């Protein structure tokens, strides 16, 4: 391992005293630092990749009873709130607190979760990926050099120095597609977002696997939702219908109309995301079609004939258990969570 950059190294690089460096990086109250001096110190910090390390100084022989959860997503979205609750519940059972981190750069230009670990504020980290993107390479190296307990969720990555937890998107899509084709469907229309991530590729591949194996025809179409407007789509969980959100919903409705013109009675329409089948039912409630959703978090359980209930709470518990294992000296592992909870809701007639 290369020699760690010290406070004195930064001071020498910036041409100031070690005390001045300490005042700048800690934003010490009552110290008047000239803007030019502060700028030189921060530039030296970034050039030398210096990070204060409380673990190295004082925390090597004791446990920090807090786990950092990196989650830069809208917590009003059921998937993320359910998972966060699972993490919190399991960690609290073991006497640990949770520190929510947003994966933002701190004053020194480093990711907040790497800084939080080195500053001794957390003893382990659960990183929840954004559209299957994991920690940045610089932060991974910092945490790896420190043997930091790290669990990465939903990034579909292989790793040796940290644990991973992933969902079996392909297997889940295969299972629900098989259930649909058992109904006698010979053609499947699959609607997915305009998002090129491992999650979406695996889902489509699972649908494709079963259609090819059974000889069913598969048509793949894309909804007008992508990485640039996904936050607009999620806003309906917090502020309701916004002008941009209504416009996006109208575009999705038009996509559904177009898809319905291609569909024939007896076909199946599978959507990658939850709530989309509601638009089809709203447009053409009389059509003899089978609807399915590959992911449902409890938002909409009557529009689809089949849906896969995502194990979000259970996944949160799994991530918490993995980070606890690492914090207690366990070896990194890779956990795959199967998506087997395919539900076929039945609307019972009202009894008078």
pLDDT digits (tens, 9 = 90+) for 177-190: 999 999 999 999 99
CB 152 within 8 A of CB 315: no
**C-alpha to C-alpha distance for 198 and 193, rounded to whole angstroms:** 13
Superfamily (CATH H level) for 169-309: Response regulator (3.40.50.2300)
| Res. 145: pLDDT tops 90 | no
What is the model's pLDDT at position 53?
Answer: 62
> Percent of the chain beyond pLDDT 70?
92
**C-alpha to C-alpha distance for 92 and 98, rounded to whole angstroms:** 8
What is the model's pLDDT at position 179?
Answer: 95
What is the model's pLDDT at position 302?
Answer: 72
What is the model's pLDDT at position 3?
Answer: 65
For residue 13, give every residue at least 6 positions away whose Cβ sits within 8 Å of its Cβ, in sequence order, or none: 44, 47, 48
What is the model's pLDDT at position 44?
Answer: 86
- Note whether 62-167+313-339 and 169-309 share their fold: yes
Looking at the whole model, is its pTM more than 0.85?
no
| Res. 305: pLDDT tops 70 | yes
| Res. 25: pLDDT tops 80 | no
Q: How far is CA 9 from the centre of its chain?
A: 38
What is the model's pLDDT at position 57?
Answer: 46
To the nearest 5 percent, what fractions of the chain are helix, strand and coil?
A: 40, 20, 40
Helix (H) or strand (E) holding 246: helix 243-262
* CATH class of the region 62-167+313-339: alpha beta
pLDDT tier, 109 (very low <50, low <70, confident <90, very high otherwise): confident
Which of these ranges, 54-63, 64-73, 84-93, 191-200, has the smallest mean pLDDT? 54-63
Q: Which single residue is written with the structure tokens 């039945």?
A: 346
By three-state DSSP, how is residue 80 classified?
Answer: helix
What is the model's pLDDT at position 239?
Answer: 75
Mean pLDDT over 161-165 rounds to 95
> Percent of the chain beyond pLDDT 90?
57
What is the model's pLDDT at position 60?
Answer: 44
Give the residue, 346 or 278, on which the prediction is more confident.
Answer: 278
Q: What is the DSSP letter of 63?
A: -
Can you read off the two tokens belonging to residue 109?
Answer: 């230009």
Which tens digits make up the pLDDT trace of 243-289? 999 999 999 999 999 999 999 999 999 999 988 999 999 999 999 99
Can you read off the two tokens belonging to residue 119?
Answer: 């500053």
Which tens digits make up the pLDDT trace of 205-246? 999 999 999 999 999 999 999 989 988 888 877 777 889 999
For residue 41, give every residue at least 6 positions away whose Cβ sits within 8 Å of its Cβ, in sequence order, or none: 10, 14, 16, 20, 21, 24, 25, 33
| Res. 327: pLDDT tops 50 | yes
- Please tell me which of 12-21, 83-92, 117-126 the model is most confident about, judged by mean pLDDT: 83-92
CB 144 within 8 A of CB 314: no
**C-alpha to C-alpha distance for 280 and 69, rounded to whole angstroms:** 37
What is the model's pLDDT at position 352?
Answer: 43
The sign of the dihedral angle between the CA atoms of 165, 104, 94, 64 is: positive
Give the DSSP per-residue string, 276-317.
HHHHHHHH-TT---EEEEEEE-SS--SS-SEEEE--HHHHHH
N-term to C-term CA, the chain: 75
Which tens digits make up the pLDDT trace of 31-66? 788 888 888 988 888 788 776 665 554 444 456 899
| Res. 136: pLDDT tops 50 | yes
CB 339 within 8 A of CB 109: no
pLDDT, the chain, mean: 88
Mean pLDDT over 129-146 rounds to 87
193: left (phi over 0), alpha (psi -120 to 50) or beta: beta
What is the model's pLDDT at position 1?
Answer: 46
What is the model's pLDDT at position 21?
Answer: 84
Mean pLDDT over 15-44 rounds to 83
Domain extent listing, the chain: 1-32, 62-167+313-339, 169-309
Residue 299 phi, psi dihedral angles, 5° rounding: -75, -40
| Res. 316: pLDDT tops 60 | yes
């Amino acid at each position: 391992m290369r020699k760690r950059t010290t406070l004195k190294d930064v001071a020498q690089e910036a041409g100031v005293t070690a005390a001045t460096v300490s005042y700048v990086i800690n934003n010490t109250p009552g110290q008047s630092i000239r803007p030019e001096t502060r700028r030189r110190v921060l530039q030296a910090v970034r050039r030398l990749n210096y990070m204060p390390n409380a673990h190295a100084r004082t925390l090597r022989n004791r446990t920090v009873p807090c786990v950092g959860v990196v989650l830069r997503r809208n917590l009003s979205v059921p998937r993320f709130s359910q998972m966060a609750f699972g993490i919190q519940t399991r960690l609290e059972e073991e006497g640990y607190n949770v520190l929510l981190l947003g994966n933002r750069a701190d004053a020194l230009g480093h990711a907040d979760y790497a800084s939080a670990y080195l500053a001794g504020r957390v003893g382990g980290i659960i990183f929840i990926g954004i559209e299957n993107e994991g920690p940045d390479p610089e932060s991974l190296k910092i945490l790896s050099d420190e043997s930091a307990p790290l669990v990465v969720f939903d990034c579909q990555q292989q790793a040796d120095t940290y644990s991973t937890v992933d969902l079996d998107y392909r297997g889940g899509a295969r299972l629900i597609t098989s259930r649909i084709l058992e109904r006698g469907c010979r053609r499947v229309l699959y609607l997915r977002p305009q998002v090129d991530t491992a999650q979406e590729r695996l889902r489509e591949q699972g649908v494709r696997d079963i259609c090819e194996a059974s000889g069913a025809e598969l048509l793949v179409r894309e909804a007008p939702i992508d990485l640039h407007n996904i936050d607009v789509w999620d806003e309906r969980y917090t502020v309701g219908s916004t002008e941009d959100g209504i416009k996006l919903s109208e575009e999705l409705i038009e996509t559904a109309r177009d898809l319905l013109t291609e569909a024939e009675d007896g076909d199946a329409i599978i959507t990658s995301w939850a709530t989309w089948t509601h638009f089809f039912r709203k447009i053409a409630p009389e059509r003899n079609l089978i609807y399915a959703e590959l992911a449902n978090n409890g938002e909409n359980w009557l529009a689809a004939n089949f849906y896969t209930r995502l194990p979000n709470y259970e996944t949160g518990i799994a991530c918490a258990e993995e980070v606890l294992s690492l914090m207690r000296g366990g070896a990194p592992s890779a956990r795959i969570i199967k998506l087997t909870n395919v539900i076929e809701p039945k609307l019972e007639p009202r009894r008078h």
